[in-house]
Structure 1
Amino acid sequence: MSLIRNPILPGFNPDPSIIRVRNDYYIATSTFEWFPGIQIHHSRDLKNWKLITHPLTRKSQLDMVGNPDSGGVWAPCLSYHEGTYYLVFTDVKSHIGPFKDTHNYLITAPDIMGPWSDPIYLNSSGFDPSLFHDDDGKKWVVNLVWDHRKNRNSFGGILLQEYSSEDKKLIGPIYNIFKGTKLGLTEGPHIYKQNGYYYLMTAEGGTRYEHAVTVARSISLFGPYEVDPIGPILTSAGRPELKLQKAGHASIVHTQDNELYMVHLTGRPLKPSMNCNLGRETAIQKAMWTEDGWLRLADGGISPQTMVEAPLLPEYPFEVEPDTDHFDGEDINIHFNSLREPLSEEWITTKERKGFLRLRGRESFSSSHRQSLLARRQQAFSITAETLLEFEPKTHQQMAGLVYYYNSKNYYYLFISHDEEHGKCLGIMSSDHGKYDELLEKTISVDGWEQVFLKAEIHYEELQFYFSKDGISWSAIGPGLDASKISDDHVELKIGGILLDQGFTGAFIGVCAQDLSGQRIHADFDYFTYRERE
């Protein structure tokens, strides 16, 4: 018997939406403030997965400049009907405090690889939209409604409204079809139709350690919906010994042989901090329909399993991708991401100097507008990241280097800059909940060095930076650092019961350049290595 090891999409890949089109399976996941928007992975066996595309690649589709940390693209829903792919998603402009500015859109494409259309605006009443194609040809959008009023349930229920393909907008009455259960925080709705019932699958309990999957059903699309009598059909709540925590926000798919699988959000905490620096990931469970028409995990329980029976499909492995990107071509590796805006020759290029990635310094990490930063997800607990940098700063306001990044308030940064006393020099800066610090007692001079090799080694909760003149003999620089802080769990901050910050992404490792003088000095990176060691 072949087994699937969870998670199937390791690292920051939350809110999975899965479909099958003939023999191909696709999962769409959230990307928040990272550009390009929405990750789509492909598989033919539900075991081996490959990142193949990002549908939101143009500013005309997604303009996130100024979006807050962990704003941007939330909870996409992927569907397919009569030769067309559909994606609905939210662009979140604010989410801290009583109000949430959440604009929902639809894009379409004739092929999963695109071209994807410019967005059609749907509504702004809440987030997590999903599109349901009924048997009669009608299309319906569901999303939660947000209620900002005091002493109310902020998660005010699941709204349903018809979508007109002809008019390219929502039409007709708005129905509130489900108020949720006592778990609360009802979100992430998907509708499925099976054996005469409409099934409404929702995420409840919040996306942390009380997360759960709740299912309700009705013979009418408009309800009333009867909640599954067993309560949540999937959760890790109350089971701290499980390797897969935070289980919730799910969607389902039937195989060609009518086997049933559920993909869901999960997290793997570091111990003892219980911080998930890999972010919220995607796992899969085998499921089934019971004789009385309810959805269950195939093993009869409600807990997520790390090893799952694979479907009766031929294995379809993908080639192992190289560890090192030498920046020899014009295209940037699909695993790299920028913050809030697409790559532009204005600030990033591989054309000006063959075999090098050139970044022009722009704004600081504090900016939610124009950062020159290129990074990729951390997808294993033990990794090495390495680069070679050529950079000639003239002032302390010019910096470039290797960054371990969560958001604008939480990061570690090994950088080259300029000091009046030491000339070109190395430093380490950090930010913890926005508290800035410099981690070397004094900067290390590398004046006269044409090249500087930089490296980060991360092993679970431990981060150590290194530098080298030749790439052979390495020296540790700075103290060992707490990698667990680069996580949703650490970032969330409440004071006096008031939520001041929260995060929904994961750790990224990459290269960046800043020029706070406005001269836009450039930094050249010869290569970037990302190697998983576990």
Structure 2
Amino acid sequence: MNTPIQNPVLRGFEPDPVILRVGADFYIATSTFEWYPGVRIHHSRDLVNWRPLGGILDSPRLLDLTGVPDSGGIWAPGLSYADGLFHLVFTVVDTYTEGWKDLPNYVTTAGSIEGPWSDPVPLHGRGFDVSLFHDEDGRSWLLNMRFDWRPGRESFAGIEIQEYDRTSRKLLDEPRTISAGTAAGVAEGPHLYRRDGWYYLVHAEGGTGYEHGAAVARSRNLFGPYEPDPTGPLLTSRHDPSLELQKAGHCSLVETPAGEWYTAHIVARPYTERGRCVLGRETALQPVAWSEDGWPRIAGAVPATSVPAPSLPPAPVPQEPVIDDFASLGPQWSTLRRPAGPDWAAPAPGRLRIHGGQSPVGRRTPSMVARRVTAPSCSFETELVFEPRSPDHLAGLTAYYNTRNWHYLFLTADDDSSPVLRTMSCEAGTLTAHEPEVLLDPGRPVVLHAELAGPHLNLSYDVGDGRHLLVGGLDATVLSDEHADEFHDGQLRVLGFTGAMLGLWVQDLDRAGVHADFTYATYREDTK
């Protein structure tokens, strides 16, 4: 018997999965929002072991995230395969507040999942969560949710479909609405499948929080009408707060070569019942069985933490090294709002040199290299070599959610240019400086250490005489979707769609050309 699938299979900030099989290879693509490279890809041959391949949209030619809001950028991509090409459709959310959304959608293709990818072609801006369905007759169709900005209207205005010509890479005719969703509302994330003469429309419902779920409807006709499954949701955790995996929904389906079906979907792991989810929304897998009357079903319509693996040969993948000496920036690393490059982030064996960027609220040229938090208890460490000349020069280690929520252990300079180690937190945009601070010898390397212990964060340092706790017991739950959501006077101001990151951060506020060197980084999960 194969080793069971342990959920979540992609841990930490890995939401909105779309799963695809091409031959013996399985791929999962996930949302990346304001982080580069855009659209993360993982690969597997057994659905148990997954290897990160990095992101598809890895250059300004493919993706411009300059100035996008927190939790803007890439939402819910669609990945498919036809004509010997991978097809990626994606939304770049430029704005989403005060009742408006700017939602340009694009398509790019490649002969290999690792590229090169073609220049993105604009599609439309009517909605988000785009996907492509390639029908048996050779025609292709673009699906998305329709967004309605008009006051007094339902903003989630149903699921629409429009023909897409793969040769010209253009949309044809006019879009048609094929489903208004269910009573749970907020129909989004559509995927279409064909089986035994039926078209099956799978979509998310109920929003992205604890009411989240997935529904399925079917029709003999591509354009409907679509009949919802009479038994209710395909998957949800909304009725059982005791489940370990919450916020289950946003499903996409895949069939193995042996005819076994699975769904990839969102889950979240709160630290308390219906509490905050520091790890963000993660990706899990569930087996799908087809009923005698032709409906896809998940056992109990709830997510399980351990499920049977398919009848495929085991395909282990290499484990990520604990210590990274920065010979290159591996697929575990992401950068904030701009791609890594020699102009600001230059890896070399034994050193990652980061040139200082904008302030913590800057959305054009921030200088952060970060990785996802994948376990409630973990640690992150780096050695920093930095020579700040003024209080406008900062470099260090951060536990980060977005521009308004983070903790920062950093080296800077006093007014007399003496180097000093400090800590600072930002919660919903409010800054707090913590005591104590530590004067350091100029030019001396310092090891910075962050330890996450569930809801608590401890920040320590070492200058060669052992580790010293600088600040302990910081609130790690501010690094969560639930804390990040902000509404003012009934209007949405900030969304929380990502997850906690641990990163290396450098600011050069007076643009003096300063840089910091990080000689290594370690990430360890506490498995106790």
**How does the TM-score come out when normalised to structure 1?**
0.97
Q: Where does structure 2 lack aligned partners over 5 or more consecutive residues?
A: none
1:411 is the counterpart of 2:412:
no
Q: Provide the C-alpha distance between the structure 1 equivalents of 2:469 and 2:376, rounded to a whole number of angstroms.
A: 20
Q: 1:273 to 1:250 in 2, by over 3 A?
A: closer
Aligned length, in residue pairs: 526
Query: Which one is further off, 490-499 or 131-140?
Result: 490-499
Counterpart for residue 143 of structure 1: 144
Give the Cα–Cα distance (whole angstroms) in 1 for the partners of residues 424 and 76 of structure 2: 33
CA contact (8 A) 2:32 2:38 kept: yes
Q: 1:500-526: per-residue Cα shift (whole Å, max 9, x none)?
A: 221100011011110111112111111
Q: Within the alignment, does 1:70 sit opposite 2:63 as a pair?
A: no
Cα drift, residue 53 of structure 1 = 3.3
How do residues 265-284 of structure 1 correspond to structure 2 at under 5 angstroms? 265-271=266-272, 274-284=275-285
Residue in 1 that maps onto 2:127: 126
Residue type at the aligned position of 2:485: E
Structure 2 residue aligned with 1:178: 179
AA aligned to 1:429 is: M
1:281 Cα deviation (Å)? 0.3
| Aligned sequence identity (%) | 46
Structure 1 residues 307-316 or 443-452, which shifts more?
Answer: 443-452
Kindly indicate whether residue 98 of structure 2 is the aligned counterpart of residue 97 of structure 1: yes
Following superposition of structure 1 onto structure 2, how do residues 331-370 of structure 1 map, counting pairs within 5 Å? 331-350=328-347, 355-370=350-365
In structure 2, give the amino acid aligned to 1:392: E
1:443 equivalent to 2:437? Answer yes
Residue 134 of structure 1 deviates from its aligned partner by 0.6
Structure 1, residues 328-369: CA drift from partner, whole Å, max 9, x if none? x2x312111111111121112135xx5211111121110111
Aligned to 2:483: 490
Q: 1:467 is matched with which residue: 458, 461, 470?
A: 461
AA aligned to 2:438 is: I
Superposed CA offset, 1:10-49 (max 9, x none): 0010001011111111100010100001111011111110
Local SS of the residue matching 1:350: strand
Distance of 2:473 and 2:8 partners within structure 1: 28
1:238-249 matched pairs, under 5 angstroms: 238-249=239-250
Q: Cα distance, 1:167 vs. partner? A: 2.2
Aligned to 1:311: 310
Q: Which residue number in structure 2 is paired with residue 456 of structure 1?
A: 450
Indicate the SS of the match to 1:59: coil
Question: 1:439 touches 1:479 (CA, 8 Å); kept in 2?
Answer: no
**Among residues 376, 379, 386, which one is paired with 2:371 in the alignment?**
376
1:512 counterpart letter in structure 2: W
Preserved contact between residue 266 and residue 283 of structure 1 (Cα < 8 Å): yes
Counterpart in the other structure of 1:512: 505
TM-fit CA distance, 1:422: 7.9
1:73-222 correspondence to structure 2 within 5 Å: 73-222=74-223
- Distance (Å, rounded) in 1 between the aligned partners of 2:448 and 2:62: 36
Task: Using the TM superposition, give the Cα deviation of residue 492 of structure 1 relative to its aligned residue in structure 2, in angstroms.
Answer: 0.9
Q: Deviations for 1:438-489, whole angstroms, at most 9, x for unmatched residues?
A: 112x52111335111100001111100000112x610000231111110111
Q: More displaced, 161-170 or 137-146?
A: 161-170
> C-alpha deviations, 1:136-170, integer Å up to 9, x for none?
11010011110111121110011110111232211
CA distance in 2, matches of 1:202, 1:415: 44
Equivalent in the alignment of 2:30: 29
CA RMSD of aligned residues (A): 1.3
Matched residues in 2 for 1:464 and 1:342: separation?
Answer: 30
Q: What aligned pairs does 1:10-29 form with structure 2 within 5 A after superposition?
A: 10-29=11-30
Question: Is contact 1:422–1:447 with CA below 8 Å preserved after alignment?
Answer: no
**Per the alignment, in what secondary structure is the counterpart of residue 490 of structure 1?**
helix
Secondary structure, aligned partner of 1:380: coil
Distance (whole Å) between structure 2 residues aligned to residue 129 and residue 525 of structure 1? 39
In structure 2, the CA distance between the partners of 1:126 and 1:43, relative to structure 1 (3 Å rule), is same
For residue 402 of structure 1, what is the aligned residue in structure 2? 397
Shift of 1:287: 0.7
Which residue identity does 1:315 align to in structure 2?
P
Q: Secondary structure at the match of 1:337?
A: strand
Q: Decide whether the 8 Å contact of 1:248 with 1:265 is kept in 2.
A: yes
Distance 1:143 1:170, change over 3 A: same
CA contact (8 A) 1:273 1:484 kept: no
Whole-Å Cα distance in 1 between the matches of residues 17 and 180 of structure 2? Answer: 23
Cα-to-partner distance string for 1:376-431 (whole Å, 9 max, x where unaligned) = 11111111100111111110010000011100000000000001368110111111
Please report how far the alpha carbon of residue 288 of structure 1 lies from its aligned counterpart in structure 2 after TM superposition.
1.1
